[in-house]
Each structure stands twice: as structure tokens, then as C-alpha cells.
Amino acid sequence: MFDLKNILNQFVNISGGEDDDILPVGKFGCVMARAGVGKTAFMVQVAIGYLYKKENVLHISLNDPVDKICTRYRESFDKLAFSVTEQERDDLWETMMPRRFIMTFNVDNFTVPKLEERLTDIIEQGIFKPQVILIDGLDFSHDDIKKDIDALKIFAQKFSLSAWFSINTHRHENPPDGNAGLIPFSNVEDFFSLAVQLNTTQQDIHAEVIKGDIVNNLTLLFDPSTMLFKAADDK
């Protein structure tokens, strides 16, 4: 059996059931952590989960080239599907990959109108129509981020999409009123329905839901040696 299934079901349970979407259309989710903790690996495995559910995924990278992203997907997929035969793994990969499309932008030149123009073009040409987008590398610390996220909300509604983002975070140096919230997430929290924080320990990286309707349903660990999810009770 494909090993991602049990892990994927824990994500699905956030929204109440196996047949429900993790994020409804127009809703945003995010994974946040300090630089280098594993946000991109997390995003790739979330994307693989959607692909396994036969949903079309648009992966937008503002940091890495296409070939590097493709390598991340294949390496993660092969590790997750290690228990099936090589032929079964290759067959499943071939059925999933047409549901994935990768776009790259220079982080300094990324704008919502540019994204909308490119997406409109590939949809009108019948090349690809996504159901969920992942935006990895957006700078949440710049002054106009709220304006950008609001524009992305309108964009998501227009194209009937849900979206995941990666966010680099740090703690308040001087938290107001004793509030040790995460910067910059605390500045844009109202835009997100689901937020997962990656916290490092000596042995694992904990994936903790800090915002979501059913917070306690997600108990996942991230193995730093493989950069893969594992259930909390796995050895």
C-alpha cells in the first residue's frame, strides 16, 4: 500500500472526513518555521497528498529552479512509496505527474497580476487547470504583504482554488503585551484558515497545528534524516 495514505488521512481529518477537502476553495493554509527547518519538504509532501487524491496542483517556487523542485518530488515520492514494487511505484508516479504543474518566478518580480496572466494563459490553452496552489518562498516581511495576500484571496476565488504558503518566521524581540507571537505570521494571521508550525527537537521536527478548526487531529513528526512525515506513534 502507498505509505503516504495514513499520513494523508491525518491531514484530511482536519476538515472533518476523508471525502472533504483539506482547505475549501478560497481558503489559505500555511506552514511556518525558521529558515532551513523543512518548509519546502513539507510543501512537497502536502502536494503529493493532493496528487494522490487526484487533485491538480500548481507548485509555484520563488527560490528554486524547476529541475531542483522535480528532484525533490521524485525523491520524496520514492521514499514514501518504498513498500511497493518498482513497477507499481513508476506506474503510480506516471498517473500522478500530469496533475502537477510547476511555475518559477524571481522572488523580487513576483506579482499577483503576473501570476494571473500566466495561469490564464495555460488554462486557455488547455494545458493545465489547478485545484490547489502552493506558493513557496513568498516574502511575508515586506510592507505590502497584506495587500498582496488580499489580492491572492481574490485570485483564489476567481480561479476556484485553495492555497498553501511557506512562511519564514521568528519570535518578537519585544512582544507587545507579553504576546510572543510569530513574526510575520501574526501580521497576516486573519487571512489563514489553517496554520502548521514546524518546531525542532533533538530527534524530530514536530508539525503542530496552531490554527485550524480541529487542532488536535494532526499529530505528525518530521524525520530530519529523511525529511519525511511520520505518524507520532512510529518508531
Model confidence pLDDT, tens digit, residues 86-138: 898 899 999 999 999 999 999 888 999 999 999 999 999 999 999 999 999 99
Rounded Cα gap, residues 231 and 222, in angstroms: 9
Q: Which segments of 124-169 are extended strands (E)? A: 132-136, 162-168
Q: 168 has which bridge partners? A: 33
Closest by CA to 40, choosing from 221, 165, 180, is 165
Q: Over range 150-176, report the average pLDDT.
A: 84
Overall fold of domain 4-231? Rossmann fold (3.40.50)
In 10 A of CB 203, how many CB atoms?
A: 9
Give the confidence band of 227 by pLDDT, cuts at 50, 70, 90: low
| Domain residue ranges in the chain | 4-231
**In the 8-state DSSP scheme, what is residue 109?**
G
CA end-to-end span of the chain, whole Å?
19
pLDDT for 175 equals 43
pTM of the model: 0.85
CA 38 to chain centre: 11
User: How many C-alpha atoms does 178 have within 13 Å on its Cβ side?
Assistant: 0
